[in-house]
A = this chain, B = another copy of it.
Amino acid sequence: MRVTREQMQANRTRILDAAGWLFREKGFDAVSVAEVMKAAGLTHGGFYGHFESKDDLIAQAIAHIFSGGLQGPDDLNAYLDAYLSPLHRDSVAKGCPTAALIADVRRQTPAARLAMTAGFRSQIDRIASAIAETKSPNARRAAIGAWASLVGALVLARTVDDPTLSGEILEETRNWIGGKTGLSRGDEPAVAT
């Protein structure tokens, strides 16, 4: 059954949204094409009308996630707090795509790595300008260092099976970055990107 052109576009968006969530949650390999389509409310048949292959879907899903309004650090302190919060740690599917996908992307298609790299760049730039507003010298260096710390700590905290250690990793990394950047604690938890 044929659908409206705008229906089709909406379907495509739903597929990309579902793929973004599922891929973050379970990894590229563990998610089947049929599963994505079902999550989008369709069957597996129409898939190849939208995408050339599963690899194509992966690349486009990554680009889609990053295109979809990344949370920039409006307030740097709040951003750090939110990023390293238990809430964000437990919200893999809708949390930071970088933390959820980095390791997997390395083994994916060049197109996928390209899309991911583009996301990295904009995220680094965002953090750098947020830092520059406070203290300018070496803003880019601080942005890269802080970004690496954030991603590393979040992924470690998610992997650890001991909640205490997991919490400690988040907490201490937050303090460590705070000391480094000269940024103290803020508050306001929320799922960040």
Contact = CB atoms under 8 A, between A and B. Distances in A.
Interface of A: 26-27, 29-30, 92, 98, 100-107, 110, 113-114, 116-117, 120-121, 140-142, 144-153, 155-156, 158-162, 165, 168-169, 172-173, 175-177, 179-180
A8 B147 CA distance: 46
Given A101-B103, A145-B176, 4 more contacts: A106-B158, A140-B172, A145-B173, A148-B148
9 contacts: A29-B30, A30-B107, A92-B106, A103-B104, A106-B155, A114-B161, A116-B160, A121-B165, A141-B176
Given A145-B176, A177-B145, A117 B155 contact: no
Majority-rule SS of A interface residues: helix
Contacts of A30: 29, 107
Contacts of A180: 145, 176, 179-180
B145 A148 contact: no
B156 A151 contact: yes
Contacts of A114: 161
B148 A169 contact: yes
Contacts of A179: 180
Contacts of A105: 159
